[in-house]
Structure 1
């Protein structure tokens, strides 16, 4: 593996950074909104699953005691 000097490394990093296609403000906002919506949906889903499992466990514990 060839050694790269710090100056050459910085040059390569800058060259790669120029290739990056950054999202527009509109795309960023749309993505953030979708993340919030999906997070909310998943939170309610897991709340429901947790409630069902809690009910099952409480029922089973009630059978024992």
Structure 2
């Protein structure tokens, strides 16, 4: 086990290797996440609508 001073030096070295995204990359990935969330929510809304309509028809038929 490394002593605390060596550990802190290693942490500082590793943090120095981190590549931070640019403002443009953050913006683009945020827009992509929002677009995919909208597409996914629309998909599940339509699937729910289809299943609900199907079940309603089945219940009307047997009820």
Asked if these proteins are the same fold (TM beyond 0.5), I'd say yes
Deviation at 1:24, TM superposition (A): 0.2
Gaps of 5+ in 2: none
Residues paired across the two proteins, number:
63
CA distance in 2 between counterparts of 1:43 and 1:26 reads: 26
Distance 1:64 1:19, change over 3 A: same
Distance 1:21 1:60, change over 3 A: same
> Is 1:51 matched with 2:42?
no
TM-score, normalised to structure 1's length? 0.79
Gaps of 5+ in 1: none
Moved over 4 A (4+): none
